[in-house]
Amino acid sequence: MNSINAIFQRGFLLLLGCTAIVSAAQAEISVRDDSGRTMVLPAPARRIVSLAPHVTELLYAAGAGDAVVGAVAYSDYPAAAKTIPRVGSGAGLDIEAIVALKPDLIIGWQTGNPAWQVERLAKLGFPVFMTEPRHIDDVADLLARFGRLAGTEQAAGKSVDEFRRHAARLRARYSKRPTVTVFYQILDSSLLTVNGRHLISDVIKLCGGNNVFADLPALVPRIDTESVLRKNPEAIVASGDEPLWPAWREQWRNWPMLSAVARDNLFLIPPDLMHRHSPRILEGAERVCTALDQVRARRIAADKR
């Protein structure tokens, strides 16, 4: 009898052990980031550091705002994000401040954070998840992945569904309209634009526009006035450092032969709606689409003269 009991106890303990192993495996969270690496967490993240304003916005939209314990400068949306302790800016990260927060997850921006600092954080043992959305649909995908990482799948799912419905409405309404050639200007002391692999170029495409510098190799290339004149875009859409826009607008008016200037197709979009890869990118898209419709209307009016 004792031997039977011993066998039973050993079997029961083995079953418990197997159950614990299975449960632990099920509790693990495995999500691939935009660099292609797979992030594995033992449990949903409870202390998250955000290294980009768009990451902060996405975390709140995914229902994980309460888990954000640190964020970089300009993480100011929604309003609750303004109170989060700062851990650096686009110019550089405060490694000591990040370490002191003891995060169980750090979420960065592949082309927006210094690579050597991100690598240092990873070498210190922190899980680092990198983002680099290039298409509108990537924003929805990030929302879903953030929900999995933070254990807020239900809230994230609602945001994903809302975002995708909004994007689908815009795409159905505008993407097949007559094409407008667009020069997108990042407001700076010099001329900057985006190529066809940038998320902003996808916004232009959604609105039925054609980015005239889509074929350039650099993601954010520096160009010159002569290049813009050769491309002769029908519209100039600008965003970035807004105080620079009046001077740039007047500078473009020195070239009345430019189609965009001849028909006064010079538009400014608020930078937070264009340069943050967050759900608000669709608010920026709404404004771009409205602007390109004005271009089409002015084209028709000019053709009737």
Percent above pLDDT 70 for the chain: 91
Name the band, by pLDDT with cuts 50, 70 and 90, for residue 75: very high
The distance of Cα 200 from the centroid of its chain, to the nearest Å, equals 10
Q: Are 87 and 71 in contact (CB under 8 A)?
A: yes
CATH annotation of 175-304? 3.40.50.1980
Higher pLDDT, 9 or 70: 70
Which pLDDT score, from 0 to 100, does residue 11 have?
A: 46
Q: Are 280 and 77 in contact (CB under 8 A)?
A: yes
| pLDDT at 250 > cutoff 70 | yes
Which pLDDT score, from 0 to 100, does residue 9 have?
A: 52
The vertex-232 CA angle with 231 and 235, nearest 5°, equals 115
Position 12: which residue type? Answer: F
Helix (H, G, I), strand (E, B) or coil at 50: strand
Task: Please list the helix, strand and coil fractions of the chain in percent, rounded to the nearest 5, in that order.
Answer: 50, 15, 35
Fold of 27-161: Rossmann fold (3.40.50)
118-148 pLDDT, tens digit each: 999 999 999 999 999 999 999 999 999 999 9
Name the average pLDDT for the chain.
Answer: 92
14-69 pLDDT, tens digit each: 444 443 333 344 468 999 999 999 999 999 999 999 999 999 999 999 999 999 99
> 27-161 with 175-304: one CATH topology?
yes
| pLDDT at 3 > cutoff 60 | no
Residue where the block lists tokens 């099920």: 26
* Domain range list for the chain: 27-161, 175-304
Q: Which residues of 85-97 are buried (b: 16+ CB within 10 A; e: fewer)?
A: eebbeeeebbeee
User: What whole-number distance in Å separates Cα of residue 283 and Cα of residue 274?
Assistant: 8
